[in-house]
Structure 1
Amino acid sequence: MFSTLWSTSDPTAQNFFPVSSRYADSELLGPLEPKDTEWTCAGGFSVETQIFYCFTENWSSVMVQLIYSSVGLWPTTQLVVKFYDPDTKETIWKSMNVSNFSPGGDRRSSKSDQFTVTHKSTPGAEFEESYSVLGRFDNGLQISLDIKRPAAVPGFKIGKGPKGGFSYFGPNVEKPEGYVVHRFWPRLQSSGVIIKDGQANSFAGPGMFVHAIQGMRPNLVASSWNFSHFQSEEHGGVSAIQMELTTTDAYGKKGEGSGKVVVNVGSLVVGGKLAAVTAETRWPGEPVVDKPSVSSRAVHHDKSLDSFTGYNVPSSLSYHWAGPSVIPGAEGGLSADLSVDVGKPGQEIGLIEKVDVMAEIPGFVKAVVSYVAGAKPYIYQWLNPATLKITGPDALVPGLSGGLEVKGHLYNEATFIS
């Protein structure tokens, strides 16, 4: 935004170029290359993260996140572990600044004084890639996590090649003011142990992985985010994920003041195979087509003011996916819908936490974000049973063409920044 203030280019020129608009419907699937999940450790106000989202046998939620941030005077790295049991309401959440962080020789592994992350590739095997995470906190909390990606569920980004996955900010795509990029493993198998106060708790279940970079100040990238992560063990393994951002008012099709562009990317795994990749852009002021052949949407319903955070929040959310099958021999389109009731403020359903982002980030970064944004970001996190209604080619799952209702669990987030 700041460079556009001094730019001699047309102030009404497009200054946001979403990845969801750059590729044809048949070219959305961009297979991940080894370089895509390497740590870049870039400077210039960037935030890079790897997040492992996992479910356990009783559908508790486990999240392990590494965050490398160069927003402050010097880079900082955080290790975050969060566990939530919906039956007992037990929550374990620890965040720690680590010391002496460095990527491994393959730049896909990493280590610090407090953790190690080891990546391995085994081409041709049933599980082609894996990560092993070992973390130790200074209060006696330890975590060991192993995740492995099935060969039938390749990692993906939107679009092939080195620019696949990238949305660019600024009027010049070749010299952008900033960028955001996501790379996904949409379904994986996890197992691990959390040790707290000498008590070991083992877990195993499905999950997903994302490697993301925000190549500019986080408060300039988006005014809000939506994230959904659905997993089910039915029909050989089903997952449905979405990542959606809404830009600030500064970035849009007609320059400053034309923002609030919605960018959504997602995928469907059906029958234990990556079946469809979805993406959609919604430009403000332009008509929204009712369920086109390729679609990826998150919608908030029945919003009301939460006096605790000051934001208008939904009492229910719905998600929609649609796109062509990427499985050879199973040609045709897929469509899926999911709705979840999360309750009104004070009567929440499945709420894990309302995360005060400013309380969880380093002090200097907090000062920068607060000064520039004048906002108080919050992340709403929910975990609920859910049913995915899905249709598609019978070659994927018998009876799919007539529609199936897949029972599973949904971990979802809504982030409000400004």
Structure 2
Amino acid sequence: MFSSFFSTAPPTDPQAPNFHPVSSKLKPTELFGELKPKDTELLCTSSGFVTETQIFYITTPDGKSIMCQLIHSSVGVWYPTIQFTCKIYDSKTQKSTWKSIHVTNFTSAPPGLDRRSCKADEFSFTYKSKSDSEYPESYIVQANPAPDVQIFLEVTRPASVSGWKVGSGDEGGYSQFGPDPSNPEGYVVHRFWPLIKASGHVVLSGKATPVEGQGMFVHAIQGMRPNLVAASWNFGNFQSPELGGVSAIQMEFTTIDAYGMKGAGSGGVTVNVGSLVVGNKLVAVTAETKYPGETNNADAPVKSRVAHLSPVLDAETGYQKPCELLFEWAGPSLLADRPGTYKASIKADVGDVAQPKGLIEKVDVLAEIPKVLKMAVNYVAGTKPYIYQWMNPAKLAINEPGSDVPVEANGYMYIEATFIS
């Protein structure tokens, strides 16, 4: 399966769909797919063009953010490149610490552990299971990416907040590229723990700081060259300890022109998946597909979308950056005692180019990815991908089933907007 990453054979019908989004395959009541143990096992393939990542995002009540990420990149004829990256950010002081290193002696399934765990000389993710516990799954995250940075975190998943993918079974979570979804040219898949509890500490330049907070975990795989997957990405992660524990997350990508519902040239299809946690319970999984030329239906019973508002040209990057971003969720309740639809929304103000609000960094992607990956991707001249990263205080408005009066949760919103082409 997924063996034809580099196939260029056209479909028999040039107007046949050559993109099959996960967000359009399922009925609203079929969106939630519970994770199985193998869903969070590391693939760590060394064949084809596959980029795999596992990321922990932690937010503290006083506005600090800790991100720890494994990136395993296979580029076909070369040996895989394995990176560990971390970013520690304080929204109050606006101080950011960023480390990205190539690791040594990497292995998945270390002795005595399965492929949900991995380690290298510079870091380790150690998975633990405690069935029938209030926190049935956990990771110990340890990292020493530089002499002046050490991280130790225990992250746990509450039993009331299931991990999820869009759709159940082995095909759950997958969007396939190419005319034949049973033998695709490539794929994208995401699996989430939408709310995790975290405790531990970070050490920066010899000073230890305790960490207590909540966040999310994602395991994602791109089974093709990243410049062929999408023209843009959006990511939103809202976390709040209010109302017993609230999380609202979204992951969105828009295909390049080559992949669409009427073959090559019909691309620009937007796939968005997300979820809502309210009261420390997973209450809804959301998904939406938007095709080129479509307008948003404000009254849609199921939606998962982000809109860039008041865009302005950023001369540094050459892209139209938003001054505000609107995130919206709507989906069937997963709670047996609360039938109906859960809805939520956030409008995030990130400022203009001259006066940004909560801007952590504008990441020059080509400056960060390994040289061998740049060579394999072979970006066309003039293309310069950038990731905007913001973190700000935010307020999530939640409409529970049967209620027209929203309840609000105050927390912090971490946002990424990625421009590729």
Answer yes or no: same fold by TM over 0.5. yes
Give, in whole Å, the separation in 2 of the partners of 1:40 and 1:144.
25
Structure 2 SS opposite 1:174: coil
CA drift at 1:401: 5.2
Aligned length: 413
Which residue is 1:92 aligned to?
97
Which residue is 2:420 aligned to?
417
Pick from 32, 38, 51: which aligns with 2:41?
A: 38
Structure 2 SS opposite 1:367: helix
Matches within 5 A, 1:80-119: 80-104=85-109, 105-119=113-127
Structure 1 SS opposite 2:317: coil
Tell me if the contact between 1:379 and 1:416 (Cα under 8 Å) persists in the aligned partners: yes
TM-score (norm 1): 0.96
Q: List runs of 5+ in structure 1 lacking aligned partners.
A: 395-399
CA drift at 1:142: 1.2
Give, in whole Å, the separation in 1 of the partners of 2:61 and 2:280.
18
Q: Percent identity over the alignment?
A: 55
Which residue is 1:275 aligned to?
283
Tell me if the contact between 1:157 and 1:184 (Cα under 8 Å) persists in the aligned partners: yes
Which residue is 2:175 aligned to?
167
CA drift at 1:373: 7.5
Pick from 50, 56, 61: which aligns with 1:52?
A: 56
Structure 2 SS opposite 1:7: coil
Matches within 5 A, 1:295-314: 295-314=303-322
Give, in whole Å, the separation in 2 of the partners of 1:159 and 1:363.
36
Tell me, yes or no, if structure 1 residue 344 matches structure 2 residue 352.
yes
Tell me if the contact between 2:331 and 2:342 (Cα under 8 Å) persists in the aligned partners: yes
The residue type equivalent to 1:103 in the other structure is: S
Structure 2 SS opposite 1:379: strand
Deviates more, 1:30-39 or 1:121-130: 121-130
String of CA shifts for 1:108-166, please: whole Å, max 9, x gaps: 00011211211011111111100001111243321111100000000000000000000
Q: Kindly report structure 1 stretches of 4+ aligned residues shifted beyond 6 Å.
A: none
Structure 2 SS opposite 1:368: helix
Structure 2 SS opposite 1:212: strand
Give, in whole Å, the separation in 2 of the partners of 1:249 and 1:417.
13
Say if 1:3 and 1:103 are closer, same or farther in 2 by CA, change over 3 A.
Answer: closer
Give, in whole Å, the separation in 1 of the partners of 2:379 and 2:277.
42
CA drift at 1:329: 1.1
Which residue is 2:166 aligned to?
158
Tell me, yes or no, if structure 1 residue 364 matches structure 2 residue 367.
no
String of CA shifts for 1:240-268, please: whole Å, max 9, x gaps: 10000000011000111100100000000
Which residue is 1:23 aligned to?
26
The residue type equivalent to 2:171 in the other structure is: K
Which residue is 2:70 aligned to?
66
Deviates more, 1:85-94 or 1:373-382: 373-382
Matches within 5 A, 1:386-405: 386-393=394-401, 402-405=405-408
Structure 1 SS opposite 2:272: strand
Matches within 5 A, 1:209-224: 209-224=217-232
Give, in whole Å, the separation in 2 of the partners of 1:302 and 1:112.
44
Tell me if the contact between 2:162 and 2:193 (Cα under 8 Å) persists in the aligned partners: yes
CA drift at 1:234: 1.0
Pick from 294, 300, 304: which aligns with 1:292?
A: 300
CA drift at 1:322: 0.4
Pick from 241, 252, 263: which aligns with 1:244?
A: 252
Tell me if the contact between 1:167 and 1:181 (Cα under 8 Å) persists in the aligned partners: yes
Tell me if the contact between 1:84 and 1:90 (Cα under 8 Å) persists in the aligned partners: yes
Give, in whole Å, the separation in 2 of the partners of 1:111 and 1:298.
36
Structure 1 SS opposite 2:49: coil
RMSD: 1.6
Q: List runs of 5+ in structure 2 lacking aligned partners.
A: none
Which residue is 1:129 aligned to?
137
Pick from 60, 83, 99: which aligns with 1:78?
A: 83
CA drift at 1:95: 0.5
String of CA shifts for 1:178-211, please: whole Å, max 9, x gaps: 0000000111101121112221111110100000
Tell me, yes or no, if structure 1 residue 10 matches structure 2 residue 10.
no
Give, in whole Å, the separation in 2 of the partners of 1:342 and 1:8.
43
Structure 2 SS opposite 1:20: helix
Tell me if the contact between 2:11 and 2:179 (Cα under 8 Å) persists in the aligned partners: no
CA drift at 1:393: 3.1
Structure 1 SS opposite 2:298: coil
TM-score (norm 2): 0.95
CA drift at 1:368: 2.7
Give, in whole Å, the separation in 1 of the partners of 2:214 and 2:11.
51
Tell me if the contact between 2:61 and 2:240 (Cα under 8 Å) persists in the aligned partners: no
